[in-house]
Structure 1
Amino acid sequence: MLSYDSWVVRTAGWALIAAGIVVSLTAVGAFRRTETTVNPITPEKTNALVTTGLYKLSRNPMYVGMAAILAGAALLLQNYAALVSVPLFLLSITFLQILPEERVLAAKFGDDFETYRETTARWL
């Protein structure tokens, strides 16, 4: 019996989805304003280190937004097993995307990236 039914949980799910969308779009907007690539597959094409706005709080607000959307969707499914998707996403995005991205950024931006990494949390 992994399912449940709760209007409170549904409301929280919708709130997380809405917050995740706002966070993700705001983070993408910062990249657009800086005129650097948003494409996570080609971090070597980045031409600027974005450290303002949400990027002062987290090195990965786009992924934080995605995690919030996923968590909200898991709550909407109202099944405890769906919640497992959130830590699995966090682990996989960290090892498969974030760490490789950070290696590229460290090589490209050197001390500036190292200072940013030391002063800004990966997640929150």
Structure 2
Amino acid sequence: MTSAAPLPPPVLTLAGALAQRLLPRGPSPGPVRRAAAQTLAVASGVVMFGASARFLAAGTTVDPRAPERAAALVTAGPNRISRNPMYLGMIGLLAAHAVVRDRWAAWLPVAAVAVALDRMQVPLEERALRERFGAEYEAYCAAVPRWLGRPGGSPAAGGAPEAGAAPGSRP
């Protein structure tokens, strides 16, 4: 088994939601804030569960503790817009909860979970997938950003620079 991050991502996300619940809550959400939170939650759930369904249909693992057990490189569905749609969905659910809580402090767990996933979990998975799928995974990384952004966009967004672009240049 690959050395895993300290907490599996679903547990980390639940810890973030618990932290949000323990923080003071703002005023009761009005219809606009409630609709924004619901829209974000539904979109996040669709992305997260859509990606999970694609993994299961491909017969590959969804277990973040053992990325080396990946049997297939899933690049369709939500994985066409983000290399980490399940984690993006988890972060989106926390963001929806922060919108409802209506306090700046409710955004701290969102940021903490996002940074923890980006710095601890995702690099472990990328290393395992790079070893398992080689050039196919490298091509996928060049075409699809780590999180969100224009596919094939800037390296900071997790994509490759455009062909012919000077290092550090922006299109």
Q: TM-score, normalised by structure 1?
A: 0.92
Quick check: which one's helix share is greater?
1
Percent identity over paired residues: 37
Structure 1 stretches of 4+ moved >6 Å: none
Task: Confirm whether residue 24 of structure 1 aligns to residue 54 of structure 2.
Answer: no
Gap runs ≥5 in structure 2: 1-23, 149-171
Most deviating of 84-93 and 110-119: 84-93
Equivalent residue in structure 1 for 2:57, among 19, 33, 45: 33
Q: Equivalent residue for 1:105?
A: 129
CA distance in 1, matches of 2:81, 2:93: 19
State the 1:11 CA deviation: 2.0
CA distance in 1, matches of 2:44, 2:81: 15
State the 1:5 CA deviation: 4.8
- The answer on whether the counterparts of 2:40 and 2:93 sit within 8 Å (CA) in structure 1 is yes
1:1-124 equivalences under 5 Å are 3-7=26-30, 8-124=32-148
Indicate the SS of the match to 1:38.
coil
Gap runs ≥5 in structure 1: none
Aligned pair count reads 124
- The answer on whether the counterparts of 1:60 and 1:122 sit within 8 Å (CA) in structure 2 is yes
What do the CA deviations read for 1:29-67 (whole angstroms, capped 9, x no partner)?
Answer: 100110100001100111110011111111001011111
Q: Cα RMSD over matched residues? A: 1.6
State the 1:6 CA deviation: 4.1
Most deviating of 4-13 and 83-92: 4-13
CA distance in 2, matches of 1:95, 1:32: 26
- The answer on whether the counterparts of 1:27 and 1:54 sit within 8 Å (CA) in structure 2 is yes
State the 1:113 CA deviation: 0.5
Indicate the SS of the match to 1:31.
helix
